[in-house]
Structure 1
Amino acid sequence: MLDFPKWKIWTIAATLLAGLIFAMPNFVPASAWPEPLPQGQLNLGLDLRGGSHLMLEATADDVLKARLEALEETVRTELRIAEGGAIAFTDLSQGRDRVSLTVTNAADLDRALSVLRRVSTPVGGITGTRETEVSNNGPRITLQATQAGVALAVDSAMAQAVEVIRRRIDELGTREPNIIRQGTNRIVVQVPGLQDPDALKSLIGKTAKLEFKLVDVDADPALVAEGRAPPGSQILPSIEGGTVVVKRRAIITGDQLIDSQVSTNENGQPAVSFRFDSTGGRRFAQATQANVGRPFAIILDNTVISAPSINEPILGGSGIISGSYTVATANELAILLRSGKLPVELKVVEERTVGPDLGADSIRAGAIASVLATIFVAVFMIITYGRFGVYSVVALIANGVLVMAIMSGLGATLTLPGIAGFVLTVGAAVDANVLINERIREELRRGRAVVGAVETGYREASRTIFDANVTNVIAAAIMFAFGSGPVKGFAVVLTIGIITSVFTAVTITRLMVAGWLRSRPKSLVL
């Protein structure tokens, strides 16, 4: 009990000193804190710091439309590369929930049906349930989306949308955003510290669907003026005003994009450079080689942002998008392209801004609750256990410092539920000392000597303390794994507090008790 090697004492002291150093930036102004030392501070959540809250919603119709567009392109590709030779077809079109086409040669009908049935994959591996049902009426083939297929498409689109939104917000340098799905077709986005929900909506609300299409130079201007595009073409608005007629089929899309950065054009104006992967670079090179002298359109979310001419083949797999950009708008476009396109359009159904004043009130209330809880617990421990109660209070303060230090070092976010978790750890921390002290009392009543009673009390109570705290950590881990943002914040603080409380309540108090017992007290009143 009294044997504390010097290396162990120095290790404990170094741990407490490191905790103090990592926690101090939360109390000392940045200008007064030396630069070489750790600078990390607690990140405050939306309820403490203020920020923006958005609820986004996708409709099943929008998801189905995106799914049908992808299906149409898949049908076109599969029939072109079908085994036994390309299958000719006409009148490929979309309906409300279906894609249909007409096979030109009746002899190819069975082969076309076989190819298109392979396109329709089973839903969740369930035999007989497919994403689309393939049927025909003579040479006319229809691929109709099933209810199970639509549900799967919605689930997949929302999961992908969460990741795209997360990448976009992370690119802003925002720390600890809370992005979670709610229900089947909603996403809640909370960004602490961002007081401009319009800027947030502008960034995450854009689909960012990038396409490169050839301009239809043969379109009849008179028909275009009437809003009628030639077959195989479409009329799109231009960011510079007016409209542009482009081919419906994209020569390449942003799916093959691997990087985009803010740069400058030949005139020194802000622009966005982009780079394709090997497959995209090869397709881009082939398309520009075959269309030298023709204009092509760069399209973002069905709006033409540039329509330059192909003066020479672009073989490097990269290029520059120029326009009337500022550095800020060019950076926003670069972020959108890097993060990838949203699989479906998301509409804002709820938005609000949490002001910093409300956050300050929450911090003040939480701080008061924490201080009062610590004071009441400290008074109780000192009155009940005397000197050993004082040791428990010292360990309790050390525990609070270590919790703050670890959270600051990890860059964890403190929320209002997190403050509640901290208050709970105050009780959990002294609970270990109550077990130890009561066990020492029991051993003294049995007639053990002072040193023997203290040693037995720590040894026997430590087993119970470790077992109890392991179950608490398991419960906190489950809350973190399955809970939403506020619950996760509570679980993080609780887990860290439980782990540090075992160290402070057992090891640090034992060190202080051992130091006192070296004076060989003849009796102990506890």
Structure 2
Amino acid sequence: MLQIAAWKRFTIWAVCLMGLLLAFPNGFYSRVEMHNDAVAEIEALGSTPEREEAAALWPSFLPSSLVNLGLDLRGGAHLLAEVQVADVYVERMDGYWLGVRDALVAIRDDVGFVERVEDAPEGELHVRISQAEGLPAALTAVRALAQPVASLTGVGATDISVSGRGNTIIVSLSPEEKAATDNRTIQQSLEIIRRRVDEVGTREPTIQRQGSDRILIQVPGIGSAEELKALIGTTARLTFHPVIQQTSNAEAVPGPGEILVQDLDDSSLYYILERTAVVTGDDLVDAQPGFDQNGLPSVTFRFNPSGARVFGRYTTENTGAPFAIVLDNQVITAPRINEPITGGSGQITGNFTVDSSTQLAVLLRAGALPAEMTFLEERTIGPDLGEDSIRAGRIAALIAFAAVLVFMALSYGLFGIFANLALLLNVALLFGLLSLLGATLTLPGIAGIVLTIGMAVDANVLVFERIREELKTAKGPSRAIELGYEKALSAIIDANITTFMTAMILFALGSGPVKGFAVTLMIGIVTSVFTAIFVTRLIVVMWFERKRPRTIEV
């Protein structure tokens, strides 16, 4: 006989009710979104009458999770960037110079004078010694600086290759270290871009690696691709350098270990600086926009203990000397050290506006990109296009939905109507789960929902056809319904497991749009199986208990 325990009935209806409650806020999308933004701002920045008014647009006792709209539905910016990983090789070689110099100075009796060759190829460090006969000893001393490659693919290899030619030592990264460096550079760039985008409060950006040296960036809700490029396009490389000389000669030739840098505000002013920075932006732990003693916008910063110690020691030893704060190879300011700065904090002033000081603080907090990025592709998707996509997707979903409802009602009569009720609950559960997970809905995701609507009644069709077969054996309607569900169960499970596995592979191996399709398809399969096996059966059982029909027609 058809029997479902009371606790099972309660659980099934409770799940359905929870799904309806979670999906409900999506029917008031704009209002709930304004409520969520206001609540987040109140928590981060404090309460204001405007924020309190916006927060009151939605009752706090109701769920407020929404299905995030993707780039193609909401509008936004799309960038494909190529990371210039070779830039990191140059910086790595600059970092090796001091260690190589000290190692060679320690054996000066064998190698003589040591100097760096300034016109060496990029990514290589060339060091010239005055005594060519000391080259073997010099190579041995420099090779002693090599370290094991910190990656699984570089086991047994060292990080530098050292060779000699005449009286010149040539140092470069080994192939294994270059591969490991490339991977670290891309991963670091991904993390920094994600932090910069998250700083401005955008919703559900897509930031992922493509190929060996490219990054795909899609940010819904942002104004334009240019705005996104302004946010992430700069390396925001902050360094502090001793000043050798100030000049107006753009053709001035810096000496060994020195660089020529232009002033940010005065294009006719140049500085000759020591190449090696005292401290860098990597030592920063915080940066905030503020105002200086004259009430002008500025950026205050704070070093970590290591950076504070180095900076404090340098300013103590060089009181009265100028030093330059350099951002992306331009001098922001070059103040004189009036007194030791031992507190680990300071202030950057210049021709800032409130917006530019805020932007700089965001970039400095997020950290410096390890290498320059070249933008190969950029697109701006306007909100109007997103609205058109939503409208087209909605129309397609409604047509599919209506067609399935009519087909089931005509094909299976009252039982088809029961299946239609379960289908309505299936869509509500689908949106409820998407909201609960904070998933992003894209145009391919809508296609997944439309496919789910079509597939959702497959299980019911299997059950109903099986009930028809059992009715022919004259075992009675109750037994026919029970056997119909029992014998169709294995086919339902097998069919949906194989489809779910396919969706999992699409999610694991696919790119952004394919992932969006796979997510809605996987969730749709789960909700479809639940509504077919449990909800439709419960509706049929409740009807049968109430009517007690002697015969049924499917």
TM-score by length of 1: 0.90
Match of 2:22 in 1: 22
Match of 2:445 in 1: 418
Q: Residue 155 of structure 1: CA displacement?
A: 4.5
Whether contact under 8 Å (1:64, 1:153) holds in the other structure is no
Match of 1:169 in 2: 197
**1:498–1:231 distance in 2 versus 1, CA, 3 Å:** same
Match 1:76 to one of 95, 98, 101: 98
Match of 1:43 in 2: 68
* Farther off after superposition, 365-374 or 21-30: 21-30
User: Deviation per CA, 1:187-237, whole angstroms, max 9, x where unpaired?
Assistant: 332221222222211111101111111112xx3858x56422243322211
Match 2:59 to one of 15, 22, 34: 34
Q: Residue 495 of structure 1: CA displacement?
A: 1.2
User: Deviation per CA, 1:432-490, whole angstroms, max 9, x where unpaired?
Assistant: 11122222223323333322222222233233323332332222222122211101111
Match 2:263 to one of 238, 246, 255: 238
Give the length in aligned residue pairs. Answer: 520
Match of 2:491 in 1: 464
Whether contact under 8 Å (1:297, 1:306) holds in the other structure is yes
SS at match of 1:27: helix
CA distance in 1, matches of 2:298, 2:525: 52
CA distance in 2, matches of 1:36, 1:291: 61
CA distance in 1, matches of 2:402, 2:219: 34
CA distance in 2, matches of 1:96, 1:370: 57
Match 2:143 to one of 106, 112, 116: 116
Structure 2 residue identity aligned to 1:102: R
Whether contact under 8 Å (1:2, 1:515) holds in the other structure is no
Q: Residue 328 of structure 1: CA displacement?
A: 1.8
Q: Residue 262 of structure 1: CA displacement?
A: 2.4
**1:136–1:38 distance in 2 versus 1, CA, 3 Å:** same
SS at match of 2:79: strand
Whether contact under 8 Å (2:89, 2:123) holds in the other structure is no
**1:470–1:272 distance in 2 versus 1, CA, 3 Å:** farther
SS at match of 1:39: coil
**1:39–1:221 distance in 2 versus 1, CA, 3 Å:** closer
CA distance in 1, matches of 2:313, 2:126: 30
TM-score by length of 2: 0.85
**1:18–1:81 distance in 2 versus 1, CA, 3 Å:** farther
* Farther off after superposition, 343-352 or 430-439: 343-352
Match 2:339 to one of 312, 318, 323: 312
Structure 1 residues 300-379: aligned runs within 5 Å: 300-379=327-406
CA distance in 1, matches of 2:260, 2:62: 60
SS at match of 1:55: strand
SS at match of 1:215: strand
Whether contact under 8 Å (2:103, 2:141) holds in the other structure is no
User: Deviation per CA, 1:9-58, whole angstroms, max 9, x where unpaired?
Assistant: 33333322222222222223628643432223322212112211222234
Q: Does 1:190 align with 2:215?
A: no
SS at match of 1:119: coil
Match of 2:50 in 1: none
CA distance in 2, matches of 1:79, 1:112: 12
User: Deviation per CA, 1:47-95, whole angstroms, max 9, x where unpaired?
Assistant: 1122112222345xxx324312212312423553799889973225442
Match 1:429 to one of 452, 456, 462: 456
Whether contact under 8 Å (1:259, 1:275) holds in the other structure is yes
Q: Does 1:90 align with 2:115?
A: yes
CA distance in 1, matches of 2:247, 2:220: 51
CA distance in 1, matches of 2:389, 2:518: 19
Q: Does 1:488 align with 2:515?
A: yes
User: Deviation per CA, 1:247-281, whole angstroms, max 9, x where unpaired?
Assistant: 11101112222322223333343322223333222
Unaligned runs of 5+ residues in structure 2 are 32-55
Q: Percent identity?
A: 44
CA distance in 1, matches of 2:505, 2:344: 47
Structure 1 residues 136-285: aligned runs within 5 Å: 136-144=164-172, 153-216=181-244, 219=245, 221=247, 224=249, 226-241=251-266, 242-285=269-312
CA distance in 1, matches of 2:348, 2:501: 52
SS at match of 1:21: helix
CA distance in 2, matches of 1:187, 1:520: 63
RMSD: 2.9
Whether contact under 8 Å (2:303, 2:345) holds in the other structure is yes
CA distance in 2, matches of 1:57, 1:167: 18
Whether contact under 8 Å (2:246, 2:272) holds in the other structure is no
Match 1:478 to one of 505, 515, 518: 505
Q: Residue 156 of structure 1: CA displacement?
A: 4.0
Q: Residue 101 of structure 1: CA displacement?
A: 0.5
Q: Residue 349 of structure 1: CA displacement?
A: 2.9
Q: Residue 121 of structure 1: CA displacement?
A: 5.3
Structure 2 residue identity aligned to 1:468: A
**1:301–1:421 distance in 2 versus 1, CA, 3 Å:** same
**1:472–1:145 distance in 2 versus 1, CA, 3 Å:** same
SS at match of 2:389: helix
Q: Residue 142 of structure 1: CA displacement?
A: 0.6
CA distance in 1, matches of 2:160, 2:360: 35
User: Deviation per CA, 1:283-341, whole angstroms, max 9, x where unpaired?
Assistant: 22222222222222111111111222223332333322222322321221122112221
CA distance in 1, matches of 2:11, 2:297: 55
Q: Residue 102 of structure 1: CA displacement?
A: 2.5
